[in-house]
A and B are shown apart, each in its own frame.
Chain A
Amino acid sequence: MKKTSTYLLFFFFLLIQSVNAQTKTDNGINGNFTNTPFSQFVKEIESQSPYYFYYDAVQLDSFKVTLQVTNLPIQKVLEQVFSDTEFKFSIDAQKRIYIAQDRLIITRLPAGLFDSTPSEKTDATAYDIPDEEREERLLSASENKLYEIGVKTYKLKEGNATISGYVRNAKTGEQIIGAAVYLESPQIGVVTDALGHYSITLPKGKHLLRIKNIGMRDTRRQVMVYSDGKLDIEMLESVVALKEVKVQADRDVNVAGTQMGLEKLSIKTMKQIPTAFGETDLLRVVLTLPGVKSVGESSTGLNVRGGSTSQNLILFDDATVYNPAHLFGFFSAFNPDVIKDVELYKSNIPSKFGGRLSSVLDITGRDGNKKKFVGSGGLGLITSRLAVEGPIVKDKSSFLLGGRSTYSNWVLKALENPNFNKSSASFYDINAHISHEINEKNSVYLTAYLSNDRFRLFGDTLYTYRNILGSLKWKHTFNTKLFGVFSGAYSQYQYAIRGEQTPTTAFDLNFAIYQANLKADFTYLLTDKHTLEFGASTIRYKLSPGSYTPYGEGSLVIPDVMPNEQAQESAIHIGDKFEVSPRLLITAGIRFSVFNYLGPKTVNTYASGYPIETGYMTGTKTYDAGKIIKTYGGPEYRLSARYMLSADMSLKASYNTLRQYIHLITNTTVVSPTDIWKLSDSYLKPQLGSQYSLGLYKNLRGSTIEVSVEGYYKDIRNFLDYKNGDSLILNHHIETAVINTRGKAYGVEVMVKKMSGKLNGWVSYTYSRSLLRAEDRSSSDAPNDGNYYPSNYDKPHDFTLIGNYKFSHRFSTSLNFTYSTGRPYTPPIGKYILEGTERVFYAERNKYRIPDYYRVDFSMNIEGNHKVKKLAHSSWTLAVYNVLGRKNPYSVYFITKGGSVNGYQLSIFGRPIPTVTYNFRF
């Protein structure tokens, strides 16, 4: 950078110098030079032609010219003179010749040098600069330019001013979220919001503003701040990103941010983790993070810090996703080509989020390219995908369309498991995204998503399910201190099961949930020490809890339709980020949520003083449409603090309370597409959660190694568990089938990360427990006599190693190792005879564990060469999933055959699975 600037200065100087008139004619050059000093040669050329030389005499003082030419154009002459030398020349329109060592002189100013938003690319006359180098140059120009912010005054006034604007990707025009914009002295820093907008308040005067972001090259801007103003910043992507793992944003965020338990993954990181089917899988990568578990390897249900799979708020561009998986959970329902990044909040959940107890998984889609049309895609044996994007109005608006589909049917046929190969399965998903910048103060984003699954089990039961999402977001900047985001979203999830075993019992079973949200969030920069975030949101739910209807002419099924449910959940929140001192930063927030369960609905009533059981049901009560049946509500507190113990070490603590008004009704251990959702009602109370966490963060070796230790304790109230052996589907008195349980979860997560260097990756170890017991311990329905028992996802020890080693720019390898304790299960352990009838008995709930799980994956990446001018860039990935071929049990089940009960274990990926992937782009 420095060198470039020196050249540019030199060039400016020359511009001013060369004012002589050009009178001589531009004929060919004639001459005979033998070991002529360069200065002599120059004089000769200048005398017979209109050209004028600019060069550094010192550099060329020992350069001798030996040449014989007759009537040769100057261009050819110089080519001969400088061939095989370290000198480069260029000629401009004014017939000036510039000679420099190693480096070409650009003979035309880059466009936009004097423009605040340098973005236009122009061709230089003498030298075709490769794209990236050109962009680099433009930005280095931006880096060296002094930007004057606000109304210029001769005398600087005392006080502070605010600069705001967007940080964008120079290549695609996409806003960059979470980029750090900061001054080193005084220490002031902000992070760009969800729309890539930042706003920083700093003392008036001259400053060097630094900008950093994950996957982007660090940049800086020289600013002269006179008063409040606007500055948009463009950043370049890191060029050499053959094999890097980036989990968290800039290096110091780990230590310096207040946020704890936040994991951020960019799509680049996700693409590096080997998967069984060779396709990047968002949820499976999230599962490698400490504190995140799942009950089985083909299940994408996330259990975050001892929470259930239903306690995660999964947002895709602000719309709630109810089923994030395709095909029994083998694939996540997100197309890797349209995702930008994923943030997982697992301990300190910002006050703007609410409605789920355990975590928020915030998935952000990519904006389309605002500068040019591009496409990307993949063809595989199981899935193929395609995405196209491009500007609608250049630099203003763009679109992105993505689709993915499978031809997995033949894979199922190939499976040795007869349960699978008698089956068929297909799925697809479609994404559409439009972003439009109306003007500097307003931009809008529109996202639509559809996923559809259809599979047939055992040849006679057809399952279909689909997610439909849509969201519209409007971002408005009121002034440099206040901006707001207004969004509306709609989500729909439905499934259907059709049974066709026999015509008389053929049925259709349907379930659906519809949700519409409206949300307004504001950020207000009160002072440089206080940043306020506040807003309001409301969600309208409508549920069809199930309908069971005959299918076909001959069906004798009696229709059973559960009445719809509806409710309204609203919340307001406010939070303040307060920098008490450079060492201490506090974020305090409060969220107040209210839930109304609404009519029309007929509610069952029960004899008071007795347990809520069908045997004690007394009758029903009917409520009219819109009538409030039951209201719940209360405050939720979100507190967190960071204290810098030293420049590279910090201590963070947080306390969070959360409420969840929607429950997943399931008694199967894995996430099943037949799981139904249920709203809190007269009998089902909202779930309450609180979490305390404490963490110590330390960066070693100049921030190349991050070490963190986080501990947490979680208390969960009113989590639903199910009474022994009650059916949950089409249960008209579901309240009799559930028991409120109290959960506790605690654990310690230790992580060591090395983000750069030839050897990089992370090692994490988690010790955690997740236990449940009935709220009413004396109830006869309380499992395990009212004592704590392990939850289905209680896996105390968990170890993950992700290691990448880069042998060269073109060859790198990756090794993953994961180990976890086997999950608990309840086997039948014996039989007995009572009153002449034989009965089996089961172990205490979750008393036993299936065998431990471990797996090793290995992959190699071989890149093609890196020539700039090349038709296609290609890379090979050779990977082996489950190198050791361990038969990790996925499920364990018992079947009664010929009067005896036998146990079986099913492993899905029971042998090493090699995959070869060839990627190319052009």
Chain B
Amino acid sequence: MKSIFVKVGFFISGIVILGGCIETFAPPEVTSNKTFLVVDGYLNIGEGSSIIRLSWTKNLTDESAWTYEQNAEVVVEGDKGSRFVFTEGSGGAYVLPQQIFNESENFRLSIKTSSGKEYQSDYVPYKKTPPIDSVAYKVAGDRSGVQVYVNTHDNTNQTKFYRWKFEETWQYQSALISSLEVQGEDIVFRTDDIHNCWKTMASTSILIGTSVKLSQDVIQDFPVTFVNASTNKLLIKYSILVKQFALTQDAFDYWTDLAKTTEATGGLFDPQPSLVTGNIHSITDSDDLVFGFFSATSMAQKRIFLTPYLGFYPTCLPVDTLPKADAIASGDLIMSDYGYPDVQYITIPPSCGDCRLQGGTNVKPDFWR
């Protein structure tokens, strides 16, 4: 026997083509035709009518239009005998005109769809929303944008849980002004203003806050949104309408879960998703799901305007200077005429002269001041 014992395991294989592969995976449950009811809305115990919109879920891959539930019976019942029947509006909306509600009553939503499925929510308390004290803002030190805050309080210490939504509207202008327009074979002075536009966007993120850790029911400087100067929303005039809703603790938890599950961004540390449904259940089939959360609350809102003049004016260069016939044929907008008596027209691309092409409207909103 040799004094040195050597064992050499020599893997000659080389054929380690591992055959890893990715294939599409469509388990039956993901492409099934089963749809579930979605309840979007609340019982408005404040001013204005209550609107509850009923729609159906879609498959993940389905790109068709949303399906709304029509001919359903939508009723809100109080636990002390009150009963309110909603009437159907358009697009799956069911409307109840403003009513007077009993503050000590608990309410639940009952829905019977046109196909006979019945749904019911848990009883929810009458939860009035306190008014917004103020919507404040602060221009960032480096003038990179504006932070908007909301302040509110409830002297009775009853509210504690809040949710906010907002709508921002801003005025903007096209880079160049088109003072002439083509009408038939003629070039005349433009009568409509396509230089000034307003655009409105609603919030998509879920904003919730609570004061339970405080000795008083006060929300101070809750950050609503940060408007970045680079968006050019702040260049001329900007307005934000903040809407406030009081929540029950259950509703607060629901919105917390919904935010975590559906707003997480994809990335390295993807959280584990799960099913979030609200407080509405099917009576006819316990396996049936219902999305949405029913509550009885009011809305408080407050609008502010600000003119921090942050951002940069858009710039654009005229395309050409053309004779009349060529200017009409070009299809571009006409900024102005040039030269006399041999009149030529300075043409500009539509995107430079028509602010509506950036998604806004040139109709000044009613609230604008």
Contact = CB atoms under 8 A, between A and B. Distances in A.
Interface of A: 131, 276-279, 372-382, 411, 414-417, 420, 461, 497, 606-607, 610-611, 613, 615-618, 667-668, 674, 722-729, 780-781, 783-784, 826-837, 839-845, 848, 885, 887, 889, 892, 894, 896, 899-922
B57 A909 contact: no
Given A378-B11, A900-B61, A914-B13, A905 B261 contact: no
A336 to B, nearest CB: 9
Given A616-B210, A726-B260, 10 more contacts: A375-B7, A674-B269, A724-B272, A830-B58, A833-B40, A836-B202, A904-B23, A908-B20, A919-B9, A920-B10
Contacts of A908: 18, 20
Contacts of B15: 913-916
B257 A780 contact: yes
Contacts of B56: 832
Nearest to A618: B213
Contacts of B22: 417, 904-907
A840 B36 CA distance: 12
Contacts of A913: 15-19
A561 to B, nearest CB: 18
B55 A377 contact: no
A497 B268 CA distance: 11
Contact of A827 (B8, B27, B254): B27
B47 interface: no
B141 interface: no
A579 B15 CA distance: 56
B13 A615 contact: no
A420 B1 CA distance: 46
B12 A916 contact: yes
Q: Considering residues B3, B21, B253, which has the most beta carbons from chain A within 10 angstroms of its beta carbon?
A: B21
Query: 5 closest A-B pairs (Cβ-Cβ)?
Result: A378-B9, A911-B19, A725-B260, A380-B11, A921-B7
Contact of A915 (B11, B26, B291): B11
Contacts of B144: none
Interface string B26-68: 1101101001101010000000000000011111110100100
Contact of B274 (A377, A618, A724, A902): A724
B275 interface: yes
Contacts of B292: 834
Nearest to A617: B213
B359 interface: no
Given A379-B11, A724-B273, A725-B271, A374 B18 contact: no
A904 B40 CA distance: 32
B20 A916 contact: no
Nearest to B39: A834
Contact of A916 (B11, B29, B250, B269): B11
18 contacts: A278-B11, A375-B5, A380-B11, A381-B13, A497-B268, A724-B257, A780-B254, A830-B60, A831-B59, A833-B66, A836-B204, A843-B275, A844-B275, A845-B275, A902-B61, A913-B19, A917-B12, A918-B10
Contacts of A373: 3-4
Contacts of A613: 256
Given A375-B5, A381-B11, A725-B264, A829 B16 contact: no
A919 B7 contact: yes
B25 interface: yes
A278 B16 CA distance: 10
B14 A381 contact: yes
Contacts of B4: 373-375
Main secondary structure of the interface of B (DSSP, over half): loop
A783 B57 CA distance: 21
B13 A780 contact: no
B262 interface: yes
Contact of A828 (B30, B36, B264): B30
A887 B21 contact: yes
A829 B23 contact: no
A826 B30 CA distance: 11
Contacts of B275: 784, 826, 841-845
A690 to B, nearest CB: 27
Given A610-B212, A842-B274, A376 B27 contact: no
A914 B14 CA distance: 9
B6 interface: yes
B14 A901 contact: no
B20 A377 contact: no
B276 interface: yes
Interface residues of B, number: 76
Given A913-B16, A913-B19, A917-B12, A839 B258 contact: yes
Interface in B299-316: none
A837 B202 CA distance: 10
A416 B40 contact: no
A828 B11 CA distance: 44
B209 interface: yes
Contact of B272 (A378, A667, A901, A916): A667
Contacts of B63: 899-900
A899 B59 CA distance: 12
A917 B11 contact: yes
Contacts of B115: none
A610 B36 CA distance: 32
Contacts of B3: 372-373
Contact of A885 (B2, B19, B58, B269): B19
Contacts of B262: 839-841
B5 A376 contact: yes
Contacts of A844: 274-275
A900 B209 CA distance: 32
Q: Considering residues B30, B63, B266, which has the most beta carbons from chain A within 10 angstroms of its beta carbon?
A: B30
A381 B15 CA distance: 9
Contact of B57 (A420, A667, A728, A841): A841
A830 B57 contact: yes
A245 B233 CA distance: 75
A539 to B, nearest CB: 29
Contacts of A917: 9-13
B24 interface: yes
A509 B40 CA distance: 42
A907 to B, nearest CB: 6
Contact of B38 (A834, A894, A916): A834
Interface in B229-243: none
B165 interface: yes
A836 B271 CA distance: 24
Contacts of A914: 13, 15
Contact of A380 (B9, B55, B264): B9
Contacts of B261: 724-725, 842
Given A829-B30, A831-B57, A907 B7 contact: no
Given A830-B57, A900-B63, A903-B25, A616 B212 contact: yes
Nearest to B61: A900
Given A415-B18, A826-B274, A917-B10, A374 B23 contact: no
A376 B10 contact: no
Given A615-B212, A906-B22, A841 B271 contact: no
Contacts of B165: 835
B282 to A, nearest CB: 14
Contact of A725 (B38, B59, B61, B272): B272
A832 B269 contact: no
Contacts of B268: 461, 497, 674
A131 B276 CA distance: 73
B18 A411 contact: yes
A348 to B, nearest CB: 34
Interface string B192-213: 0000000000101000111011
A725 B11 contact: no
A841 B20 contact: no
Contacts of A417: 20-22
A623 B368 CA distance: 56
Interface string B271-297: 111111100000000000101100000
Contacts of B212: 607, 610, 615-616
